[in-house]
Amino acid sequence: MGKSAVLGCLVIVLIGVLILGGMTVSGYNKLNAADQAVSASWSQVENVYQRRADLIPNLVETVKGAANFEKETLQAVVQARASATQVKLDANSIKDPESFERFQKAQDGLSSALSRLLVTVEKYPELKATQLFSNLQAQLEGTENRISVERGRFNEVTQTYNTLRRSFPTVIVANITGFKDRPFFKATEGADRPPAVKF
């Protein structure tokens, strides 16, 4: 083989290495950007959950003032809030499906306890009539809506990340560099069934 043939082979190999390296760097950068978007979206989810946790003590104190209010319902809210605030997730922890599921169950338990509290309040018209309770209830309802919106956005960003992570050739880069699939928020158990209406 002549010098020109060897040189030609080296040039082809070098071009191949450059193309492969470029694809690897590009794939890694895209994965990193998508991963950062998931983390940023998670921060918004944490913010709205924290807002709800901050509103609950004021709501509990307001409801405690009502004569003969059902203590069991109130205690369930206090305990659910304590459970929900003990389960912490940061941007790294949300990569673990088991931790993510524990967090979601704790938050869903708090949502359920709050729903029972607000239904129970219907029996206390004097409590519902107070301006403070009305304000807290409106803030809580707004926060629940924000939670739903932010969870939806989180799921969208997570889906984009997971799709990119599983796409070829990015999946090769993801496996080499340790990028894993991210879990989604799931609907609360029983959300697929309409509530029973009793008259």
H helix and E strand count, the chain:
6, 0
Q: Is residue 161 within 8 Å of 37, Cβ to Cβ?
A: yes
Residue 25 forms part of a structural domain: no
Q: How far apart are CA 123 and CA 138, in angstroms?
A: 18
Q: Write the pLDDT tens digit of every residue in 127-152.
A: 777 888 888 888 989 999 999 999 99
How many domains in the chain? Answer: 1
Which residues form the domain of 92? Answer: 44-177
Residue 191 forms part of a structural domain: no
192 has a pLDDT exceeding 60: no
For residue 139, what is the domain's CATH number? 1.20.1440.20
Distance between terminal CA atoms of the chain? Answer: 93
| Tokens representing residue 133 in the block | 């309770």
Residue 194 forms part of a structural domain: no
Residue 162 forms part of a structural domain: yes
Residue 102 forms part of a structural domain: yes
Report, as an integer, the average pLDDT of 76-96: 85
The answer to whether the Cα torsion of 40, 163, 92, 190 is positive or negative is positive
Residue 58 forms part of a structural domain: yes
Residue 189 forms part of a structural domain: no
The angle at the Cα of 174, spanning 153 to 21, to the nearest 5 degrees, equals 125
pLDDT more than 90, % of the chain: 38
pLDDT at 198: 38
Q: Write the pLDDT tens digit of every residue in 89-124.
A: 877 778 888 989 999 999 999 999 988 888 888 888
Residue 7 forms part of a structural domain: no
